[in-house]
Structure 1
Amino acid sequence: MRADESRAPNACAVDPWAAEFVAAAGPQDPPPGGPEARAFLHDGVAVRTRYFDDCLLEAVRGGCTQVVLLGAGLDARAFRLPWPRPVDVFEVDLPELLAFKERVVGGRVPAVARRVTVAADLRDDWAEALTAAGFDPARRTAWLCEGTLAYLAPDRADAVVRAMAAHSPPGSAVAAETATSHGSLDCLRSCRDALAADGAPWRSSLRDPASWWAERGWRMTVPDPASLPYAAERMARYVPMLREAGDTGGWLLTGTRCGPTPA
């Protein structure tokens, strides 16, 4: 989806690395669902990518000197974002995923960022591996959980967010995606079913994400994606479908570290 979006006129976000990853992975099945569902998923991914791009750049401009991508996957932000200053970008993911990624990267390095890969499982003690790789919990950090927390069991998602807070001084930032608790949107239901059949079910969701994050040390903002200047036109045609289903499909959130570290 990011590769297709990158070739579109007036793209929300351009990711020249996406096509390289797709080519290296070989033939893939299309996303599940009919044409309307696929269009919705494509536009949602495009808007999500741009939203998180902007969040991370704003956090670095605001003083964060480290960026941590939890469940980084095939994220190429270390390379493609116009970082306003030198920044350390840590990519945390499973060893086999990072090994595939390194075959495509082929030794290339970002122009501004210092990229550090951290082979770790978010279900284990990933924070220890992150610190061992050079992460400094005393420095202000921008965290990204893009398409990550929904795949963790509720207790593990809770542990990840608490660990983030424990390793973040005040003024650190977070951007995250959280699945809703409704699950009534047909196109998302077909997507969830396909992921579950492939061994990657969505395991957790939140009915009130702002309150949930606040209890874990983060003051969150929950924007309406359709209100964003680059998203309004893209998302407008889906509003009736979303309203009828009573389901937005997920929240895009941003927040800052606040208060004492929760127990």
Structure 2
Amino acid sequence: MRTDDDSWDITESVGATALGVAAIRAYETSREDALFRDPYAAKLVGAVGSEGWNALMTGALSGQGVSDADLRGWSMGSVLVARTLYFDEYFADALRAGIRQIVILAAGLDARAYRLEWPSGTRIFELDQPKVLAFKARALAGDEPAADRREVAIDLRQDWPKALLDKGFELGEPTAWLAEGLLRYLPGHAQDQLLEKVVELSAPGSRMALNLSMDGDMADEFRERRRKVMAEAGIHIDLENLFYPWEDRKDPRDWFAMHRWLVTQGDPVTLLEDHGRTVPDAAKAGMGAHILMTATKPRGDDTL
């Protein structure tokens, strides 16, 4: 069970969920029709030395107690591909708008600082637990990021704005923020505090992208399929005990709208289909519980 002062390494608790995301990114990268390429994901997962994570990464589960229907109907895999694509495109749009300051909250095993193209002068701040960032540094030793990447080793329940400023964050510059796979691991009040700090630190023209799973809307059969796929790989993560309840938080779409930011949404199924990926009906049903959104802080001449 979660506590207010819990911490974790990459193979523990919330840290282990970052391995799951990297495993799916590695699997997608190996497909001939991959919608994105993350050559660092396999290296990050492989650095753990776990047969289970390697099996999930290579898709070696079919025929080992997990049927093709289980894999095709595992909505979480499709959601992770969709949200990776969505946030990759989010950063591309932010760069086209001239934003050169990037902050990735709870960066986990995100390798965008290495794998995406960044214009000269781009600064990328990655915030996460010290043990998680230390693991990533060891796993990617010798690899050079494509931008000025700055680690901010801190728990987001601590005074992370000060730590961010100490690393060279510029208050007067527009920022592209990312909170990927983060909010459900925070209690509702901590989510509000985090978003309030983002608003306070954001110059006009800043953007915030995030995702959120309304797990309460997910049918039991999809939770069971998720458990089955993970268990067959020998991975036992009780996500329900890592998440904080949806009911105890404000919908971030409404929260940013109330703060007069411009909110746009992305639909995971539509996004994949628009990029030519067929989404099985079994997966579509579970994907409806997932939010993808971007909020933009207006400049002085923007119209609300």
Calculate the TM-score normalised by the size of structure 1. Answer: 0.85
Residue among 135, 144, 150 paired with 1:100: 135
The 1-side partners of 2:296 and 2:90 are apart by 11
Partner Cα distance (1:237, 1:199) in 2 = 25
Q: Which letter does structure 1 place at the counterpart of 2:116?
A: L
2:179 to 141, 145, 150: 145
Query: Aligned equivalents of 1:187 and 1:231: distance in 2?
Result: 27
Structure showing greater Rg: 2
Is this contact kept in 2: 1:176–1:253, CA < 8 A? yes
Q: For 1:129, which of 154, 163, 169 is the aligned residue?
A: 163
Bigger RCO of structures 1 and 2 (CA < 8 A, at least 6 apart): 2
Using the alignment, how far apart are the partners of 2:241 and 2:283 within structure 1? 29
Aligned to 2:15: none
What CA deviation, in whole Å up to 9, does each residue of 1:3-30 have, x standing for no partner?
1110101201110000101110111356
Distance in 1, matches of 2:141 and 2:198, equals 30
Moved more, 144-153 or 181-190: 181-190
Identity fraction in percent = 35
Aligned to 1:55: 90
The reply to whether residue 3 of structure 1 matches residue 26 of structure 2 is yes
Tell me if structure 2 keeps the 8 A contact 1:147–1:177.
Answer: yes
The aligned counterpart of 1:213 is 256
Q: Which residue of 2 aligns with 1:114?
A: 148
1:189 Cα deviation from its structure 2 partner: 2.9
- Counterpart CA distance in 2 for 1:201 and 1:15 is 26
> CA, structure 1 residues 200+81, in 2 after alignment: closer, same or farther (shift >3 Å)?
farther
* Corresponding letter in the other structure for 2:106: G
Match of 1:80 in 2: 115
2:243 pairs with one of 202, 205, 219: 202
CA contact (8 A) 1:151 1:200 kept: no
Aligned partner letter, 1:201: L
The answer to whether the 8 Å contact 1:67/1:88 transfers is yes
**What is the identity, as a one-letter code, of the residue corresponding to 2:270?**
S
| Aligned residue-pair number | 256
**Structure 2 counterpart of 1:58, one-letter code:** D
The one-letter code of the counterpart of 1:149 is: L
Shift of 1:208: 4.3
Q: Is the 8 A contact 2:126 2:149 kept in 1?
A: yes
Match of 1:252 in 2: 292
Task: State which of 137, 155, 177 in structure 1 corresponds to 2:211.
Answer: 177
For residue 22 of structure 1, the aligned residue among 36, 42, 45 is 45
TM-score (norm 2): 0.74
